[in-house]
Amino acid sequence: MAKPRNTTYRREPLWRAAMVHRISGLLLACFLPLHFLALALALDGEQRLDGFLRWTDQPLFKVAETVLVGLLAVHLLGGIRVLAIENLPWRPGQKQMAMGAIAVATLVAAAFLVRIV
């Protein structure tokens, strides 16, 4: 049977910023083992690593790398904001800071994409 609707607080920008932080963290955590696996190819000799790196020169990988850079930037900046909340005196303007973090991360990712293509 039906339940009352009661989660529209999730439309708040700061709630969404918290979710961006969490999801970016989870995706980065998923990436990390793949990153180490790739590096571990060097143990089998530089050819294997070089071969793999050449394989990742495809456009799809460029896009994925750009997303990765964006995730790293947004997670880093969002993390700094939360650390500041928890360890420094309260600062107003949290919404602006959270949105700023997302905007800066997007710019960083865009700049990265421009540099690698």
Partner 1 sequence: MSAADTTEKPRDAAHGTIEVSIWRGRDEGRYETFRVPMRESQTVLDIVTHVQRHLDPTLAYRFACRVGVCGSCAMTVNGRPRWTCRTHVSKVVENGRIEIGPLANLPVIKDLAADMSPFFEKWQEAKGAFTPSKTREADIEPISPETRERKIIDAAIECINCGVCFAACDTVRWNEDYMGPAALNRAWTLVNDVRDAGNAARVHAVAQGGGCHACHTHQSCEQHCPVGLNPTASIAGLKRRTMQAFIRGELE
Binding site for partner 1 (CB under 8 A): 1-10, 12, 14-15, 18, 22, 82, 85-87, 90, 94
- The residue (of 22 and 35) whose beta carbon lies closer to partner 1 is 22
Minimum CB distance to partner 1, residue 105 (Å)? 18
DSSP secondary structure code for residue 92 in this structure? S
Compare residues 64 and 82 and give the one whose CB is closer to partner 1.
82
21: left (phi over 0), alpha (psi -120 to 50) or beta: alpha
Residue 81's closest CA among 92, 70, 71? 92
Q: How many CB atoms lie within 10 A of CB 53?
A: 13
Which residue, 16 or 62, is less far from partner 1 as judged by CB?
Answer: 16
